[in-house]
Chains A and B, each alone.
Chain A
């Protein structure tokens, strides 16, 4: 069972990373326009170079 000493912190750390990513996405307004985002990816306007 010694492996738990490693596994539990690792699992908590990875889960925490996911949580931080979610919090970041909420804070940067990434859920303001879900319909628009799904359509914008189809636009060819910024295919060759990213939007400045």
Chain B
């Protein structure tokens, strides 16, 4: 009998309970930081000490494998001071959205599979030891005892380990379909039933070891498959979590930083230069320029002034803007367009994987073969026991152990190789689809070009004008000014001594030189003739005529190599962009792309790809913007750089982690080799079956032969997968 502890002082009893309640009410905040630069024990110590020294931090732990720090802190602690603390300690740190990360923290499914794999491994080793003594001549009572012990180990082990197969098979059968798991489950159950029956009659042949080894190999395949996908998913989620959705709200004259999900229609928001619009809205204050390239593909900045509507995803370039929100969250045009893309039929949905195609041929074949063997022997000998034994042997021999490993072993090896080269394979059939690609369609802005602008035609200009331009350009944070200043500094130009230098947001910069007004900015502000087709900034000194400084987009690293390598591999390369004709033509000429299309709307891109695919081409789309998402999902396979908009990354099968494009041709070659390897594996597995099945049907297949054939084919297939370079 137990009695509750009774304290004389009620407060003593109440205090811990109250504390516990208070603790529950104010739950600890969990913060996550991404630490791309850490690599050793000293890094771990330094970062953990720096974080633990911060006020409000309860516990900080660095995970070196994920290059991440998880921090348990008092509620309400902001991540910014922690990021600063880590930077002060000498390491790069970025805040991660803990809500997005938390979903992956515990990989339950993976752990579950690992447990089953461990139990299957343990049980199959023990049963195999007992079987070896039976095969090497244990007789009579000893053999029976070994069989009974094997049965005692096998039944609970199978009941636990083979659950995923049973569940999948049941799900397929209940909707009237056949999949790989149906013959697997049938083979395991039939083997167990006949073996138990044989054991009861003190027979010679029992397949307990075969049933367990089968389960073990198949679980190994499933686990590999799961791990590959889990790694890709966690990396993709980390990319998403790096963009912490925050906005600066103006409330009662005060600025406060809030989560984008807390914004409401009618809120006043401040958007600083360089920041992305968090919501759809109308500008109430400020003048600036907007970069809409992620939405339209056009590089030329658009002027912004009070009264103008802006949509989420556009980038504010020059001056601070105040917005009044008109649509938030799921109602913004960005979110609505992203959803439309998700609804559209995607290329991957139409694709049947190699494994599924193999299963479609294989599953009915195996059942018919085993049923025929059973019928033949039953009518031939009239002995139900022999007939059942033969049927079980046929099912076990043909069981797709090697088939179950054939695909995951290759995809794991290939994805690992590609991941090290900076490619993240997100979709399970992406490799197979990449291998079939014969046409590659590139987007221009943000994909082939990096979005960094470079001034052209700086040679042969008046040095005086250049030095004035440099002085004016350095007075502004506008991307064009920064690019111009960088290029001029690189050429050794010294800035002229201007006085009263000031920036006019939305227009340009101006200053005085020897009593002359010098201005650098938009064509319309300077009264220049007209806007050119190309992106340009204009310079006017005093009353002199305005002169243009045209810009081109700089190429992304590896773009030239990628295009050349793809063309050398015999792929058709097409450039489709939403940008102006002149810009697209110039780039196509530079890269040697003969087929190009300018001024394409998002719908045009998708339509062109559908048209190409209808003509029999297998299209790989490479793009980054919202205007590409429809094209990305309608193409046979798709790649987007990690700088792409979240919606584009979600729509594509492969994400390029670095800024370099040169891994694209490599990925196509690796995919082709991987697919060839998968087919080879199927052939190896078939050869084993062709050799062993006649033995099983003829009734001379012993459990020893079954075990040998099964293990040998699985090991060969795994080794063949590892040959992939």
Contacts and interface: CB of A to CB of B under 8 A. Distances in A.
B614 interface: no
Contacts of B114: 26
B51 to A, nearest CB: 14
Contacts of A4: 142, 145
Nearest to A19: B122
A38 to B, nearest CB: 8
Interface string A10-32: 01100110110011001100001
B54 interface: no
A45 B440 CA distance: 54
A43 B122 contact: no
Contact of B126 (A12, A34, A39): A12
A33 interface: yes
B526 interface: no
Contacts of A50: none
Contacts, number: 52
B265 interface: no
Contacts of A19: 118-119, 122
B122 A18 contact: yes
Instruction: Determine chain A's interface SS by DSSP, over half rule.
Output: helix
B45 A43 contact: yes
Chain B interface size band reads 20 to 34
A18 to B, nearest CB: 7
A12 B111 CA distance: 24
B119 A40 contact: no
A19 B118 CA distance: 7
B126 A23 contact: no
A36 B149 contact: no
Nearest to B43: A39
A3 interface: no
A23 B145 CA distance: 29
A19 B119 CA distance: 7
Contacts of A23: 115, 118
A36 B118 contact: no
A35 interface: yes
Interface in B109-140: 111, 114-115, 118-119, 122, 125-126, 129
B375 interface: no
25 contacts: A4-B142, A11-B126, A12-B153, A15-B122, A15-B125, A15-B126, A18-B122, A19-B118, A19-B119, A23-B115, A23-B118, A26-B118, A27-B111, A33-B65, A34-B65, A35-B64, A36-B44, A36-B63, A39-B41, A39-B64, A40-B41, A41-B41, A42-B41, A43-B42, A43-B44
